[in-house]
Chains A and B, each alone.
Chain A
């Protein structure tokens, strides 16, 4: 974990609380919890009021004023207008909001924005360079790995991360990598094809490089 301010009440716990008590009490108890936490941890705790934090997103530092309870997904979408990250279930069951935190695919709807201070966030907007698509994005277009496109950014983030950690995935590896990404239009087979295609392209490119260096040697 990074050195950013830590919250001691999690969103999951907060939601759990919200389910069993009337709303007014929820807010009061959240305030109370926050006060208690603050007392316990002194100045290392924040909230419930808004605070300004600096987030490292796609290689740029963004200063944003948010309440500690804001998720990373909400912050990206509502505060920074980075709407490529989609919110579908808002509780960690569909992976549409997948971003990378320090290169690891992470659900932005289950991550508090303030917990990402000091870490490197990559969103779908940061995967391409201007109008030049990332290899996985280009392969998604080539294989038509989308219909409505609402799950697509999350799928792309999951598949690109897979290829970074496993350059030679098999079909089952791709299925595993996107096993949490739901697509209602049913584009999964195209997603598999696109991802395996990129792996193949990279192998070919690596083969060429090896061949060239062999000849040069």
Chain B
């Protein structure tokens, strides 16, 4: 097929294609879809493919293990300056004066910048409710105030400490519960709203606000009063979750090289386009003057989108000093600038004797500090079928750092309450928790996943709750997750084929550790039938076609179809260009076993190099952008996670011993990478359930454990045996059918699954995380605990 310019645009006409559809365990079926003319032919199931679906080594693995990958923190440019952020030492107050003289005079200091606007926090709907101020009002300890750039990091640190800030302090509140009372100090003098980032987060706007309580955001389906009156049984529960910080190992940071002709921004970001957009907005620059580069990225988990205060400060310092500036947050600052909000949830579920749900009512209060986005209703709303639902979500402002999107925002909190309450319902109905879910869950993938749990775990030997008689009690529990198929249409790329046979792919999309480079290489490799390692992947640079922002598990599902389409089109262009030289037509050429063959004459077979050598030009290339989804069906992903644990009822320690995880994510492109992410989600979930918590000093108003020795994240010794099974789920939605796994990979379920296993072990319901020895012994009635906030 000769390619005409029309193929560069969305197809003007469509054709019908038959796509593989369903789950292998249930027997694969086919589904017909109308697709654009320029879409590539449907891919068969993974079992019939050469590279896609086969465990593949990470494309940039060697660079990472040899220390050669250059992360933003590693960028060293000639003449580069180092910067340090100056932040607020009080939790609430107005800045009276900022004296930068001593800092500026310090030898080696090149620029000081005092910030004019704080990004990433809620802002008053009516700014007139607050007296005008030269500097932004301080609403949390750690709020950025200024930046200092110097010839070494040590001098920048010294100089930052010399910036003198005088405050007129104001009363503050850092406790969610206290902040709800009528006489609590007001974080904002009137209603305030926060925008989400490109990665999600943020709360509703325009909802009522009374004092520090912002909301509710209400969702109503049917009539819950009627639903509860129809119920045979009703279960209720109150649950508390803590604030979790992202703790990405590479802190937030930028290297900005401000030049009049182009501003180059090296960013530790989950979205090169989000950074470019915000730099353009903040500095009123046309986008063609901004280049964003993210070659390697040391973890984000939702908190790294846009310019951020540190990006804006680095840019201002670079402009003032006329030199590149590196500004990485220090570890304390990293803990303060972003978090997963906490929650206090009250949940009520009604059901018929056979398990059918009749009503769900959820009220949640959570604090995202000086931001919003503490809603928890996703799981209650989307996991099971229920005709009557009422959810009310409130954000409570406190004087603490803003919440940010964090791996499946709202879902681990919601799942902790919801899936434990579902288990309570099962107990009340005298049903097996898996059987109850079988009754109320329509998702076909989770059905297969529950079956896997039955077949592959110890579930059938589960004993009644609290059966163990000794001090160490064993239990098992499960919980399910739900996440959604989001697609970012800003997903483009270019595939180039050169006369020497080399193939390369370019896109601005970034690899934040999920293995995006690898799956892109695999998708290109599948079209050309060359090993993925032979494809050169150049990504993470806005000079290339725009890429999706990596938040909400969108990356694989958004960019791989564009990549396949570009690779397919490049291949068609190649065949059209070389066919005359081989005395045939393009439609007689095909890829087979790594060679180009004549369809009508099996004896004619050439290597890719022999074919590209006949290209009339040095290079051919094709660019493609994400085509719309093939159908408008609403699709969710999920997983079912099984936990075995031991509770030491004398010390209060919880030992997770085994996790079995069954998950689906459309068509897995690289099972190695997907399984690795699920492992990671599970471990982050255990960490959330057992160890992590931000501790605020109620009297002084700052975070007490803003470091990695007192903010405990899971370490090697706490890692249980983990087994992961991937369930392929073909959905016939795009030319690759790929989907992301980041969110549904265990982080949602683990606290709930551990809670259910804890109940099975002890007969006691854990209503609060983290399950530290103190909280466990309190729940077991062994010590008198503090009354829950």
Contact = CB atoms under 8 A, between A and B. Distances in A.
Interface string A146-164: 1111111100100000000
A52 to B, nearest CB: 16
Interface in B656-687: 672-673, 676-677, 679-684, 687
A81 B76 contact: yes
A210 to B, nearest CB: 30
B158 interface: yes
A153 B74 CA distance: 13
Interface in A123-178: 123-125, 127-128, 131, 133, 137-138, 140-142, 144, 146-153, 156, 174-176, 178
Given A24-B102, A133-B62, A175-B716, A186 B679 contact: yes
A38 interface: no
A27 B719 CA distance: 43
Contacts of B76: 78, 81, 83
Contacts of A26: 161
A186 B161 contact: no
Interface string A177-211: 01111111111111110000000000000000000
- For B69, B71, B249, B719, the residue with the greatest tally of chain A CB atoms inside 10 Å of its CB is B249
A51 interface: no
A115 interface: no
- For B68, B248, B715, the residue with the greatest tally of chain A CB atoms inside 10 Å of its CB is B715
Contact of A148 (B62, B153, B512, B708): B512
B648 to A, nearest CB: 19
Nearest to B297: A148
Nearest to A24: B162
A93 B716 contact: no
A90 interface: yes
- For A141, A178, A189, A190, the residue with the greatest tally of chain B CB atoms inside 10 Å of its CB is A189
Contacts of A86: 71, 73, 249-250, 298
B787 interface: no
- For B152, B515, B722, the residue with the greatest tally of chain A CB atoms inside 10 Å of its CB is B152
Nearest to B61: A141
A120 interface: no
Contacts of A18: 161
Size bin of chain B's contact surface: 35 or more
A180 B708 CA distance: 11
A89 interface: yes
B57 interface: yes
B57 A137 contact: no
Main secondary structure of the interface of A (DSSP, over half): loop
B432 interface: no
Given A23-B158, A78-B76, A78-B152, A185 B680 contact: yes
A118 interface: no
Given A148-B249, A148-B512, A77 B62 contact: no
B65 interface: yes
- For B64, B247, B248, B681, the residue with the greatest tally of chain A CB atoms inside 10 Å of its CB is B64
A89 B154 contact: no
Nearest to B719: A188
B719 A187 contact: no
A191 B719 CA distance: 11
Nearest to B328: A87
A175 B57 contact: no
A151 to B, nearest CB: 6
B154 to A, nearest CB: 7
B249 A156 contact: no
Interface string A1-26: 00000000000000000100011101
B299 A185 contact: yes
Given A90-B330, A150-B249, A185-B299, A144 B57 contact: yes
Contacts of A174: 716
Contacts of B68: 84, 125
A191 B684 contact: no
A88 B711 CA distance: 14
B98 to A, nearest CB: 15
A85 B331 contact: no
A94 interface: yes
B286 to A, nearest CB: 32
B301 interface: yes
A67 interface: yes
A153 B679 CA distance: 20
B249 A186 contact: no
A148 B716 contact: no
Contacts of B66: 84, 124-125, 127-128, 133, 137
A96 interface: yes
Contacts of B716: 174-176, 178-179, 181, 188, 191-192
A140 B676 contact: no
A175 B719 CA distance: 9
B707 A91 contact: yes
A159 to B, nearest CB: 11
Contacts of B676: 144, 147, 187, 190
B717 interface: yes
Nearest to A175: B716
Contacts of B683: 186, 188
A3 B399 CA distance: 52
Interface in B698-743: 707-709, 713-717, 719, 722
B715 A179 contact: yes
Given A88-B708, A93-B709, A187-B676, A147 B513 contact: yes
A177 to B, nearest CB: 8
B465 to A, nearest CB: 29
B9 to A, nearest CB: 37
Contacts of B673: 144
B708 A77 contact: no
Contact of B153 (A23, A74, A84, A85): A74
A125 B301 CA distance: 28
- For A123, A137, A150, A176, the residue with the greatest tally of chain B CB atoms inside 10 Å of its CB is A150
Interface in A98-136: 123-125, 127-128, 131, 133
A146 B250 contact: no
Contacts of A153: 65, 67
B679 A149 contact: no
A70 B65 contact: no
A144 B64 CA distance: 11
Contacts of B707: 89, 91, 93
A146 B680 contact: no
B173 to A, nearest CB: 26
A177 B682 CA distance: 22
Contacts of A93: 707-709
B108 to A, nearest CB: 11
10 contacts: A24-B102, A83-B73, A89-B707, A93-B709, A124-B67, A137-B62, A149-B60, A185-B513, A188-B683, A192-B719
Q: Which 5 A-B pairs have the closest CB atoms?
A: A84-B67, A23-B161, A148-B513, A186-B683, A186-B680
Given A125-B67, A149-B513, 12 more contacts: A78-B153, A90-B330, A93-B707, A94-B708, A133-B65, A133-B66, A146-B64, A146-B65, A150-B299, A176-B716, A182-B249, A188-B683
Interface of B: 57-58, 60-62, 64-71, 73-74, 76, 82, 102, 152-154, 158, 161-162, 247-250, 296-299, 301, 330-331, 512-515, 672-673, 676-677, 679-684, 687, 707-709, 713-717, 719, 722
